[in-house]
Chain A
């Protein structure tokens, strides 16, 4: 039985706007509306319950670990890295990942350049490569502030960059989807692919953190 009051934390309340009352009634209504819509669409034959299950499983099957394998390969194989930067979709296909229709652009961090990704207008994200975006990526707080005070936001994630490093924010406003290729942490040279992939988190492929050893 679905929990009517189970919902995402951190409602996007705009500062200065009093939330409409009663909040819980509205959220409960939307839980019901979502279920009603789903059930009606199945009843009307738009899709089947089995297709629903398959769609949920397909989403669940794509995880950041998939992208981590791509990063690990790029760290170990300069020729692969060059192909990845030149043609993201083709390079991820080499790793057995289906990018679908994603127009994937991989952007490389260097000692002089740090990339971070956002979609200020909604939540565009390389879903086919690394799965669904984290809740904070979709939040008003991240979308509003990462374009204007990116260093302060990165600090909230525990990431501080020297001033000489260019911090480059990519706002995914159109058809391209961005993945950050973080720098390989020093001390990890020569490690095997699994060990390298284990260093690569979702957050460092968005660019809010960097891979760390240990």
Chain B
């Protein structure tokens, strides 16, 4: 059973670089953010992309990052954020 993440939980995006169709952009890999909400279960795009049926479904989470945590040279407000929708198998608990 895959990990379940709760709103408010701090997570790290897995730092992995598998080939193939991935919907986790490189710019957030290895970065730490906070789960804001679950969006429910959806078929896995990584296997849909190779003509499979996408099952078993993966839980999709909205994850929030502070822009200043993503970009060392971020020029904007310290409160600016970036939110992405990430499938559960790309998230790890961060202590």
Contacts and interface: CB of A to CB of B under 8 A. Distances in A.
Nearest to B81: A168
B82 A147 contact: yes
A151 B75 contact: yes
B81 A166 contact: yes
A120 B26 CA distance: 10
Nearest to A114: B80
Interface residues of A, number: 23
Interface of B: 23-25, 27, 39, 42, 45, 60, 62, 67, 70-71, 74-77, 79-87
Given A173-B85, A173-B86, A174-B87, A168 B80 contact: yes
Given A168-B81, A170-B83, A174-B87, 17 more contacts: A147-B82, A148-B74, A151-B75, A152-B75, A163-B77, A167-B81, A169-B80, A170-B84, A171-B83, A171-B85, A172-B85, A173-B25, A173-B86, A174-B42, A174-B60, A175-B42, A175-B85
A150 interface: yes
A165 B84 contact: no
Contact of B82 (A103, A151, A169, A174): A169
A23 to B, nearest CB: 28
